[in-house]
Amino acid sequence: MADNTYRPGLEGIIAAETALSYLDVEHEQIVIRGYDLIELATKVDYLQVAYLLLSGHLPTAQEYETFSQQLQAFQNTPQEIYRIMGSLGEHVHLMDSLRTALSALATFDPKLDTRDQNNTWRQSLMLLATMPVIVANSYHIKNHQPVIAPDPQLSYSANFLKMITGKVPDDTEIRAFDQLLTVYSEHEMPNSTFTAIVIASTLSDMYGALVGAVASLKGTLHGGANEAVMKMLLEMKTPQQVEPYLAEKLARKERIMGFGHRVYMKKSDPRALLMKESLKQLVAIKGHADLYEMCVKGEEVMQREKGLFPNLDYYAAPVYYLLDVPIDLYTPIFFAARTAGLVAHVREQYEHNRLFRPRVLYTGPRGLHP
């Protein structure tokens, strides 16, 4: 018998089975294939987590080496993709540039509509390899700067950051950026992942599923929140201005970005705690102690006034900032990192597919006649 219970936003509804990840709020743990995501972020790198998501186990040394080499082989992006991005309007949002580039990239895959596991593994690797190149250069192309090619001598995360900033990062910067990518890599069933598997359930191609995810992640209530957080911090300017700034916004009943989460409603986002420590370490080396103080003060005010905890975006934004990442790239980088989880979910959907077809609670009129 059908359950006709309606829950706005599907809140609390179990929509899918997955072996990939689970948000165990009671124990404040993000489970990734059986591992604690925060522990993974402190002990292994992003590529190892990506491999774990795709294969089901952490790579051996040989598997890691092979995986890295395969990704490097897929990094060469067709020049036509750069030309397409360069033809977009001057006011284009970089998520729209990414969405267009990803859609165009699909046309270069000769086995676009082949769904066997070997081909979807190849497509997954190709997308993991290509996303950093496209994301980083979307910013350069929009700002009429030269494209920066991948550096095969650097690790995945170091290469990604170098393509963004134009300079080779130091070990502290690489570690902070790699942790950012890792904590963004997978998070159970947010809107963008749900969008991707709904598309995949029709047996549409993997690129199309990720194009839908880009459109979802662009929204400020999802991926775009990190950009809004940094703009808010820059408007505050000093730790002394944090409380009056937030008080004014709260008095006008405006939403404060970076706080609250549909799942973490009464507990802290574990990823935010890790990024808070990462920010503290970067500040100790790079300066900008006032930025850390502002964040801590804002956290205190929101906890006292609204009972809200910071989510990942709140502390990820200033970490990006101290890594010299342009604000326009915060959300596209989120997507590049989440590509690991997205392609793993799409492959899982193909392997155990059932078309999504929910029903509605009709609230309109009946019995009308022309």
Sorted by where each starts, the structural domains of the chain and their CATH numbers stand as: 21-218+327-351 (1.10.580.10), 225-322 (1.10.230.10)
According to the model, what pLDDT value does residue 5 have?
83
187 flagged as catalytic: no
According to the model, what pLDDT value does residue 1 have?
47
Of the residues 140, 187, 261, 345, only one is catalytic, namely 261
Task: Give me the residue label for tokens 């033809």.
Answer: 87
313 flagged as catalytic: yes
Contacts of 314 by beta carbon, 8 Å cutoff, 6+ apart: 229, 257, 258, 259, 272, 295, 298, 299
Of the residues 222, 288, 290, 324, only one is catalytic, namely 222
According to the model, what pLDDT value does residue 2 have?
59
170 flagged as catalytic: no
According to the model, what pLDDT value does residue 262 have?
63
b/e sequence 214-227, b meaning 16+ C-beta within 10 Å: bebbbeeebbbbbb
Among 292, 290, 263, which residue's Cα sits nearest to residue 277?
Answer: 292
Among 157, 146, 190, which residue's Cα sits nearest to residue 341?
Answer: 190
Distance of alpha carbon 90 from the chain centroid:
24
According to the model, what pLDDT value does residue 284 have?
93
Which residues of the chain fall short of a pLDDT of 50?
1
How many whole angstroms separate alpha carbon 118 and alpha carbon 114? 9
Of the residues 45, 178, 205, 313, only one is catalytic, namely 313
